[in-house]
Amino acid sequence: MNLWFDIQYALRNLIKSGSFSALTIAVMTIGLGATIYTASVVKSLLFDPVYFPEGERVSVLIAESIMSGVQPCYMITRKFGMRRRAWN
């Protein structure tokens, strides 16, 4: 019974102060929308596969340098040869 009285009291106070209630609901709505938008952007950037045209032609080579350690070198094969990233 005590919970029901608390809910009635909260609703009565929300109705009394209409501008505060509207502002509170607006802020919560904007915050929820921003959170959902951020989660969808993070999901699309981190977890969904990246579209790459003719992705089956991409190769990854791992090269080891004395100065900088292990570095990936991405190569895209062409019909007449290969193209690779320049070594630093």
* This prediction's pTM: 0.48
Task: Tell me the pLDDT tens digit for each residue of 6-26.
Answer: 999 988 988 898 888 899 899
Q: Which two tokens stand for residue 28?
A: 């919560």
Place 88 in a pLDDT band, splitting at 50, 70 and 90: very low
- The number of beta carbons lying within 10 Å of the beta carbon of residue 37 is 10
| Crossing angle between the packed helical segments 18-46 and 2-16, to the nearest 10 degrees | 100
pLDDT at 32 exceeding the cut of 60: yes
> Tokens 């019974």 map to which residue?
1
At residue 30, φ and ψ (nearest 5 deg) are: -65, -40
- For the stretch 67-87, pLDDT in tens is 665 555 555 555 544 455 555
60 membership: H or E segment, kind and range: strand 58-65
